[in-house]
Structure 1
Amino acid sequence: MHLIQILLPRADNDGRPFAREDFDRVKEELANRFKGVTAYLQAPAEGLWLQGAESTRDDIIIFEVMAEELELADWHDRRAELERRFRQDEVMIRYMPIGLV
């Protein structure tokens, strides 16, 4: 079993917030594909990235799904689609093996 997390920014690089519908669409797509999703929409996490002397801050939304099999090619395609839709150079998707109690 794997836990997959998708981190999406609440706003684009110019500071324009994405519509709630954009995140609802992601949530529905994941729920349909994985039969369930957890979406942390109300209390966004804060990301901070350092590039030399410069720092960038983002409020992010986190989506989580669990999957028995990890289809990396599918996740690469999904990441490219989310980068296009959310106008990002890179969307972070990470996974880890998990066990259930």
Structure 2
Amino acid sequence: MSHHLIQLLLPLFDNEGQPCPRSDYRRVRAELSQRFGGLTAFTRAPAEGFWEEKSETARDDIVVFEVMTSELDPAWWAAYRRRLEACFRQDSIVVRAQETRLL
């Protein structure tokens, strides 16, 4: 039986460089745990995201939240991503899904 691993790459700072409130992460953790029965949060050592923007390299410190589900609802995830972008004051937040098989 295949499952989907969904990863949310959440920023530690908004577009103005201000730290995102811890309450935002707690709310996301609670929402996803309730909907999917749990989650994994990689928060101890922030990951670094790099991308090219206007011929220079931009970077962001991020934390990663993951959930697994047997059913993938792209419309729900697209709407949830837009909510996260508004909450975390971002132009774009990466939410990606990967089909996976439990061994």
Structure 1 regions of 5+ residues with no counterpart? none
Is 1:40 aligned to 2:37, yes or no? Answer: no
Give the TM-score of the pair, scaled to structure 1: 0.96
Q: CA RMSD in A?
A: 0.8
Structure 2 counterparts to residues 1-101 of structure 1, below 5 A? 1-101=3-103
Output the CA distance in 2 between the equivalents of 1:52 and 1:83. 21
Indicate the SS of the match to 2:101.
coil
Aligned length: 101
Give the TM-score of the pair, scaled to structure 2: 0.94
Output the CA distance in 2 between the equivalents of 1:41 and 1:21. 14
| Structure 1 outlier segments of 4+, above 2 Å | none
Structure 2 regions of 5+ residues with no counterpart? none
Output the CA distance in 2 between the equivalents of 1:94 and 1:57. 19
The structural deviation recorded for 1:42 is 1.5
The structural deviation recorded for 1:55 is 1.5
Indicate the SS of the match to 1:69.
coil
Q: Tell me the percent identity.
A: 50
